[in-house]
Amino acid sequence: MIRVEALWLSVVPLDMRAGMDTILAQVVRVFGEARPITPTSSPTGAALG
């Protein structure tokens, strides 16, 4: 089972043809940050398992 700890929704349109740098910049502009999710950590810093 996957536990959802945070859900971010955007109503800003995004051109999916844009490059990764453009998409990342828009995510940071809209949400204020972009955090990577790794197999050993969650958005809250707690270990997954």
Range list of H helices, 4-48:
20-31
Model pLDDT for residues 7-18, shown as the tens digit of each residue:
777 777 888 888
**φ, ψ at 28 (rounded to 5°):** -65, -40
pTM of the model: 0.48
Nearest to 4 by CA among 34, 37, 27: 37
Return d(Cα 10, Cα 19) in angstroms, integer.
Answer: 18
Question: Which residues, 6+ apart, have CB-to-CB distance to 16 below 8 Å?
Answer: none
Determine the pLDDT at residue 41: 56
CA-based torsion, 4, 6, 12, 16: positive or negative: negative
